[in-house]
Structure 1
Amino acid sequence: MKAIVVDIGGTNLRVALFEHNQLKQIKRDKVCSFAVSKLKGQELYQAFLSQLESTLLPYLEQYPDCPLAIAFPGPVSPSGMVTSAPTLWGDEVRRVDFLGDCKKRFQRRVVLMNDISAAVWRYAGKSVGKSADKSAETSLKGSEDFCLFTISSGVGNKVFLGGKVLLNEHGLGGELGHCQLAFDEYALPCDCGGSGHLGALASGRGIEQLSRHMASAAPAEFAVSELARLCREDISQIDTRKFIAALQSGDEFCRRVLKRSQHYLVQAMSHLYHSIGIKRFIFIGGFCCAAGQLYLDNLKQVVREFSWFGLAESDMENMCRLGALDDDHSLLGLGHYLSGGAYDA
């Protein structure tokens, strides 16, 4: 199976050729988003489409018969309508026929799905058939139910239940990043325009602003932290790179920020477990990847502070896993999805 696969993120645009269960000819660009462009509304959307076309052109010319599969960072309806993409377009662009626009521009059949839905198929084990990714040590056996979380520019998630990704008729399901969990002084602004959302507190961008908020609230504690030293005591200079460096050095201030951030995340996990029985969680994404085992160890500590009806201590210990420490999840997932015969259906 050979396919051109695309992963659109809030920060990067990645394209590759999927062949023999591997990625080849990988290309990465900074994506045209509201964070880097002065354009707004339809002008921003058209600039993004032009960038996508320019990036894809060499692949389309070299592989004229290959299907094109795109993973998108927002809800995608079965008809290919994108309702919103806060990490990509903020609240400037809503309800666009992205699939239709791609078909017109690229003149071939296009498979479009949410980026986390695509990533799920990397970890769905035997349910994707012979193409299951052997390199992902966290692949689950058979059709074991699980939830995949991505902790990166935003927070996204998808539930794999009963052998399929759980979505409603509009492609919605797995938007816990925009579920409001904070209603007090921690109800920080989200890219979508809301406040107190999980993504505003637990994503990479969210942890940056949570760090700034907590540093402003406790200036004496921040002043003696390793993070303050790295930022020269300038709160505005806090970013994820400095935060992770300070966290890895054992900085207590950063550990306190991470614990509060993960407390909101575990609230969401608890709701999933107690409502539909999901008790396996896989974590991927740029921030999660960069923090690595330290992120997982701290998360497990927070998990143990919650009450989980019907779970033993060993169940809680095995509840959370890190995915493969790369950013190929959606690209490989798209390839596995197509290799499993879904494209021919």
Structure 2
Amino acid sequence: MNDKEIAVFDIGGTHFRSALWSNGQLGSVTRRPAINYLNTAHHSPVELQEALADYLVSETERLQLESETPIEHVGISLGAPVNACSGCVLKSGPLWGPKSGFFELQAALTRRRLDIRWTIANDVTAGLVSYIQTCNPGRHSRILFVTVSTGIGSRLYDFARGGVPVDPVHGIQGEIGHIKVDAFFRGTRLKSSCDCGGCDHLNAYSSGRGVLKLLRELPCLSPEALEVSTMAAARDEDDDTMLAAFSHAVASADALALDVLATITRPLAAIFSAVLTHDPLLDSIVLTGGVVDALEPAYSASLDRQFRNHGLFQITECDSSYFSRRLRIVSPGSLSGLVGAGHLAEMAAEGRNIHVFR
């Protein structure tokens, strides 16, 4: 690609980030609060969706003034499931609330600026694209890139095909955060809802928000254990203080905290067991995100223990390190979404697509 600069965006549920991208390098990054259903007055999710499109166009125009050259390509990493065939955003609980529906973001942006090529991808896809820049293709067959933060998502990358396989009709892959799971805490069956409104989704238990819900319920679920736990002093504190207390309790091997940790890793381990049962050529599972980062190394140890408890038929009983050999922990980079968006826009400009449809 030529030396023209690209505008790149990382659209999350809490913050929006933007920057210029040129020759594999980011310029200065601008961050602002997200336009979401919690902080922005609105009558319907449609108003928030249109406001996002307006922001992307106006910020692109600001970046163009900063660049002093025409911007023809824009890359967008979006914290929502995106149909890779159409650029349609399928839903976003964190941005638009549980009643949000489809949004034809690609079409909305093209209507506003027909002269710009808009490349839109899910934030997990963008994070994956950033990560694979560090990989040696000759040493991998397929990797699964998993983010565990406010929400949970995954993307499978096939090195032989050179892309992310997606459903050829619906254009998605790897939305594991919306798989229904069973969750138990000390023998008690839990019931909770995801940001999307769905009941018993993995997000409802194993994401950052799911963890916080469970911590808030501890006074009812296990009051006596909480009284003697190092987390007791934080039970009435704000969310950040409570999550920090949980992280410290896990690090100090607090019994109650470790039971909470087992509760949030158990459903994810079951999903990984199913994935590896069907795809034995999957050579790496890359875990990243704020939840993993805050709880390491106990998080991966708990996940491995839950995986071995779940088991792979005729494998884990004779190969106890089967899962741990494949597990990779990567610290979340605050700029990985922007970097991935830059690479994706470059690929689009060169006529290449990260997605594989057959």
- Preserved contact between residue 37 and residue 45 of structure 2 (Cα < 8 Å): no
Alignment-derived partner of residue 165 in structure 1: 164
Answering whether residue 326 of structure 2 is matched by residue 319 of structure 1, we say yes
Q: TM-score, normalised by structure 2?
A: 0.83
The amino acid across from 1:218 in the alignment is: S
* CA–CA separation in structure 2 for the residues paired with 1:331 and 1:314: 35
Unpaired segments of 5 or more residues in structure 2? Answer: 352-358
Answering whether residue 240 of structure 2 is matched by residue 251 of structure 1, we say no
Alignment-derived partner of residue 23 in structure 2: 20
- Preserved contact between residue 75 and residue 171 of structure 1 (Cα < 8 Å): no
- Preserved contact between residue 5 and residue 16 of structure 1 (Cα < 8 Å): yes
Answering whether residue 263 of structure 2 is matched by residue 260 of structure 1, we say yes
1:88 CA drift (Å): 1.8
Answering whether residue 112 of structure 2 is matched by residue 105 of structure 1, we say yes
Alignment-derived partner of residue 150 in structure 2: 153
The amino acid across from 1:222 in the alignment is: L
Instruction: Return the match for 2:339 from 323, 332, 342.
Output: 332
1:118 CA drift (Å): 1.7
The amino acid across from 2:149 in the alignment is: S
In the superposition, relative to structure 1, how do residues 173 and 58 fare at CA in structure 2: closer, same or farther (>3 Å)?
Answer: same
Answering whether residue 128 of structure 2 is matched by residue 120 of structure 1, we say yes
* CA–CA separation in structure 1 for the residues paired with 2:182 and 2:146: 19
* CA–CA separation in structure 1 for the residues paired with 2:243 and 2:41: 24
In the superposition, relative to structure 1, how do residues 24 and 237 fare at CA in structure 2: closer, same or farther (>3 Å)?
Answer: closer
- Preserved contact between residue 72 and residue 117 of structure 2 (Cα < 8 Å): no
In the superposition, relative to structure 1, how do residues 87 and 140 fare at CA in structure 2: closer, same or farther (>3 Å)?
Answer: farther
Alignment-derived partner of residue 103 in structure 2: 96
Instruction: Return the match for 1:79 from 69, 76, 86.
Output: 86
* CA–CA separation in structure 1 for the residues paired with 2:136 and 2:176: 22
The amino acid across from 1:72 in the alignment is: L
- Preserved contact between residue 183 and residue 267 of structure 2 (Cα < 8 Å): no
Alignment-derived partner of residue 284 in structure 2: 280
* CA–CA separation in structure 2 for the residues paired with 1:251 and 1:51: 45
- Preserved contact between residue 154 and residue 175 of structure 2 (Cα < 8 Å): yes
1:264 CA drift (Å): 0.7
Answering whether residue 175 of structure 2 is matched by residue 175 of structure 1, we say yes
In the superposition, relative to structure 1, how do residues 49 and 242 fare at CA in structure 2: closer, same or farther (>3 Å)?
Answer: farther
1:43-95 CA distances to partner (integer Å, 9 max, x unpaired)?
Answer: 22233334444444421323323510011222222121112112221223211
In the superposition, relative to structure 1, how do residues 336 and 46 fare at CA in structure 2: closer, same or farther (>3 Å)?
Answer: closer
- Preserved contact between residue 109 and residue 118 of structure 2 (Cα < 8 Å): yes
1:198-244 CA distances to partner (integer Å, 9 max, x unpaired)?
Answer: 01111100111122234421111112222221235x69887433432
1:321 CA drift (Å): 1.1
The amino acid across from 1:157 in the alignment is: S
* CA–CA separation in structure 1 for the residues paired with 2:245 and 2:37: 24
1:283-327 CA distances to partner (integer Å, 9 max, x unpaired)?
Answer: 122222333433223323323323124463333221211124422
1:131-177 CA distances to partner (integer Å, 9 max, x unpaired)?
Answer: x24xxxxx354353011111111111111134321211222211110
- Preserved contact between residue 3 and residue 67 of structure 1 (Cα < 8 Å): yes
Answering whether residue 50 of structure 2 is matched by residue 42 of structure 1, we say no
In the superposition, relative to structure 1, how do residues 182 and 90 fare at CA in structure 2: closer, same or farther (>3 Å)?
Answer: farther
Counterpart secondary structure, 1:121: helix
Instruction: Return the match for 1:343 from 345, 349, 355.
Output: 349
In the superposition, relative to structure 1, how do residues 84 and 182 fare at CA in structure 2: closer, same or farther (>3 Å)?
Answer: same
In the superposition, relative to structure 1, how do residues 301 and 338 fare at CA in structure 2: closer, same or farther (>3 Å)?
Answer: same
Counterpart secondary structure, 2:28: strand
Alignment-derived partner of residue 73 in structure 2: 67
The amino acid across from 1:16 in the alignment is: A
The amino acid across from 1:149 in the alignment is: V
Deviates more, 1:186-195 or 1:234-243: 234-243
Instruction: Return the match for 1:206 from 201, 206, 210.
Output: 210
Counterpart secondary structure, 1:74: coil
* CA–CA separation in structure 2 for the residues paired with 1:205 and 1:287: 10
The amino acid across from 1:75 in the alignment is: P
* CA–CA separation in structure 2 for the residues paired with 1:114 and 1:104: 21
* CA–CA separation in structure 2 for the residues paired with 1:252 and 1:208: 18
Answering whether residue 199 of structure 2 is matched by residue 191 of structure 1, we say no
Q: TM-score, normalised by structure 1?
A: 0.86
- Preserved contact between residue 289 and residue 331 of structure 2 (Cα < 8 Å): no
Deviates more, 1:300-309 or 1:265-274: 300-309
Over the residues paired in the alignment, what is the CA RMSD in angstroms? 2.5
- Preserved contact between residue 287 and residue 330 of structure 2 (Cα < 8 Å): yes
Identity of aligned residues (%): 26
Unpaired segments of 5 or more residues in structure 1? Answer: 125-131, 134-138
Number of aligned pairs? 331
* CA–CA separation in structure 2 for the residues paired with 1:59 and 1:152: 29
